[in-house]
Structure 1
Amino acid sequence: MKTFAYRSTTGIDEAIAANGTYLAGGTNLVDLMKLGVAAPDTLVDINQLPLHDVVRRPDGGLRIGAGVRNSELAAHPVVRRHYPVLSQALLAGASGQLRNMATTGGNLLQRTRCRYFMDATKPCNKREPGSGCPARDGDHRNLAILGASEHCVATHPSDMAVALVALDAVARVAGPGGERTIPIEELHRLPGDQPERDAVLEPGELITAVDLPPLGLPSTYRKARDRASYAFAVGSVAAALQVNDNGTVDDLRLAFGAVAHKPWRARAAERALRGRPATRAEFERAADAELAAAQPLRDNGFKVPLIRNLVAAVLTELTERAPGASGRNAAADRDRADRNDSTGGVR
């Protein structure tokens, strides 16, 4: 490992002035340093900064300090009650030990990566721009189907970030140029011809908090993975859904994980569903509208039907939990029974 300087700071301005690489839980950064993928000159320890609170905002939303540990955030009673999609996404990520160390800001800023990025002996445009992307012809089973470029097909690994995108969360950022806010949906970049840049942050900028707006919609997160624990998503869906008394979709928030260089907000699917009947057929149609832009590689085309099925399953679950759903389900059952009676059970 390359020799580096270490500084511990107690104030945000002091941390920014230190002009180094920020260290919180270190669950991604330290691994990259051990592998020789990252070699910072100076580590700036920000664990003593006052960024560890979760507080209610005046508008009824929530402000989450960037230093809040993932395990604490997942267990927070307000998060569990009002933002279950976020709690579920956090609990689906990594292991209990890692969640005890990982922070909100660090989770958002973990590197978008693939096996070639993590192997310093292999070419990778994210590590060495212009060296090539061996993943395109190599091992890409779990890599991007949306928004990729010829320079990079890596996927963002965060579960939490997918939920935050669906929640319209906003990052509060401090830096040498002052403070600003960035919607989480816009925080991460698609690779284009600069895959080495994962996020839109400028040098020295530090995420200090994440703001959640009030949410009155049922929400949930579902993750498909190769094994039941401690595995990155093969595909995931974060959703919040409001269905009116007539059984049509009033409001919808939808985001996908493990399909792109960044958490993917499914805007086309949202537009396709608003005002439409809350049925599995409509959910699948909306997913198809979003996935029409997919460009899978040789070995990851299975992600298209996987995401389609996840969308349909998650939205069906939320529909069944919506107020009045039991009455709508009973009416649907009666309609099916009537049709069966009139056709002798033949559809």
Structure 2
Amino acid sequence: MSVDYLPGKAWLAVSDWRDNLFDELSINPNNPPSTVRIAGDLVYREGPAPQAWWHRTRLEKPFIATFSSIKEASDILRGIQRNWAHEPVACFRRARLIEEKLPFVQDKPRAFPYSVPASPMGVWSLLDEHTLFASAETSSPFPRGILRFEEDHVNPPSRAYLKMYEALAWVDKLSADRGIPEGSRLPGTGSKCIDAGACPGGWTWALDRLGAEITAIDRSELDPRLMAKPNITFIKHDAFTLKPADYGQQDWVCSDVICYPPRLLEWVNEWLDSGLCGNFICTIKMQGKADHETTLAFSRIPGSAIVHLTANKNELTWIRLKP
């Protein structure tokens, strides 16, 4: 048995958007250099880690471990920490036997709101019958960077509410990292929220569940059930042509508007310059090829985090908490 820590980092790619991660890491997957190893959706790269967001989770301290038996493999992982999630790469039956000897990790769909556990979540894979690739420390608190919620097939006007649920779970996690008390992390009763590009109302519906006061802006009306609610004000307009002063002080500004990333950044900067809101949840929607330059500009805004949610497609979610 041996454990060797590696001089680089690894990323667990989003299967449908692997090319975006390869672009961020400056890797040609058809001819990778000797400092790069690709196994399934795992991408390992030696040297300093570049900024990258098109992944489910980043493996911060990857290691290779050799073992001779299933028990020995599970003992290696258990000896480091409790929580491990298996990412299938090879030797699937053997990996399943190892997984059965590890403490159970719950990955069923969660109820909303979901408070993220503080315990670390590792990732491991088998490269062959006797070789583990793993990292106890990862960038996501969720198993393999995946978070799913119990779905409501009756009440929400669209499936976009799942994106807001997941973004708010990240808000909870990022707030906890800052030491913000649990009852003060999410929008709640009395919180004033903007929902730009709201129609048909998936995000508004999710915020309404928390008791927030919502100003929803779009060119088309929301679902009639939302339009009738006293805590929801609808403005029929292009959200980006209204100025922050038209709304006044807000606790949260949210946007799921379909637009080019530079236009969203321009609008966000108007809000930041106004000082009328400090907290944001915005979808950076790509129009074809990923816009890495604008994504980097978002990341440089103090208080920012950028994640690829389980519910995201060709898009990233920018979350900003007031510093």
Name the TM-score, length of structure 2 as normaliser: 0.22
Question: Relative contact order (C-alpha < 8 Å, sep 6+): which is higher?
Answer: 1
Structure number with higher helix proportion: 1
